[in-house]
A = this chain, B = another copy of it.
């Protein structure tokens, strides 16, 4: 009865389908995940999957929640800032473990239950920390995708490792986009291939922006900021 070919498989279940999908996406990439390839991985016929997930979109929804479930619950004995920071960095670690997850989260048309639960807990932390509903609302928007521990990178990737190609690439960059080149060269001025263009420290950049925002949040909270005064040009003066 049931599936029992090859290596004596347990019967299919929604959970087993989702876990296999996560493993497959981790190993082979998102573009290699199809209903057909996943079925083959599980040793079943493609249509058997449709007993456990309505369609591919719902499969992806389930995969997102599986990743979100890896986020550690916050230690709630600290101040709001420490707790939020911990939550966000834990989310970031979960998403770094599954590089495809960011792309899948971005393409969901509506948030999954796991995603809502995570959001709710972060909102609750702000509220408990003395943020008004109003300020909490805007602050959550300001965090944006950073609540998930990611930001899409828009910077060019580091130059090629081959010294000759690298020097040529940097020279071209300097000619066409001088200001970007200056950053890639980090003000050192040397075009020496061995020391420059070492790429960016993603973790540092993430925490830099996160802390800048958290600092701003704390300032607004302390001064009792409210959006009630919002009108023409008012927002410019918010931090003054």
Q: Is the CB of B235 within 8 A of A211?
A: yes
Q: Is the CB of A134 within 8 A of B187?
A: yes
Q: How distant is the Cα of A186 from the Cα of B227 in the complex, in angstroms?
A: 12
User: Size band of the A side of the interface?
Assistant: 35 or more
Q: Is the CB of A205 within 8 A of B152?
A: no
* A212 vs chain B, min Cβ distance (A): 4
Are A152 and B183 CB-contacts (below 8 A) given A145-B145, A235-B204? no
In the complex, which of the residues B138, B177, B215 contacts A208, with contact meaning CB atoms closer than 8 Å?
B138
Contacts of A204 in B (CB 8 A): 138, 227, 230, 235
* A188 vs chain B, min Cβ distance (A): 9
Contacts of A215 in B (CB 8 A): 216, 238-239
Of the stretches A2-10, A18-26, A50-58, A119-127, the one at the interface is A119-127
Give the contacts of A145-170 with B (CB-CB under 8 A): 145, 147-148, 151-157
In the complex, which of the residues B103, B123, B132 contacts A187, with contact meaning CB atoms closer than 8 Å?
B132
Q: Is the CB of B235 within 8 A of A137?
A: no
Are A120 and B152 CB-contacts (below 8 A) given A211-B235, A239-B211, A239-B212? no
Contacts of A157 in B (CB 8 A): 110
The answer to whether A48 has its CB under 8 Å from any CB of chain B is no
Q: Is the CB of A209 within 8 A of B154?
A: no
User: What does the 1/0 interface line of A200-239 toward B look like (CB < 8 Å)?
Assistant: 1000110111011101110010000001001000011011
Contacts of A200 in B (CB 8 A): 137, 141
Q: Is the CB of A120 within 8 A of B179?
A: yes
Q: Is the CB of B176 within 8 A of A209?
A: no
Q: Is the CB of A180 within 8 A of B123?
A: yes
Q: How distant is the Cα of A143 from the Cα of B144 in the complex, in angstroms?
A: 12
Q: Is the CB of B208 within 8 A of A142?
A: yes
The answer to whether A182 has its CB under 8 Å from any CB of chain B is yes
The answer to whether A33 has its CB under 8 Å from any CB of chain B is no
Q: Is the CB of B186 within 8 A of A141?
A: no
Contacts of A132 in B (CB 8 A): 187
* A109 vs chain B, min Cβ distance (A): 8
Q: How distant is the Cα of A117 from the Cα of B127 in the complex, in angstroms?
A: 42
Contacts of A103 in B (CB 8 A): 106-107
Closest 3 CB pairs of A and B: A215-B239, A142-B209, A123-B179
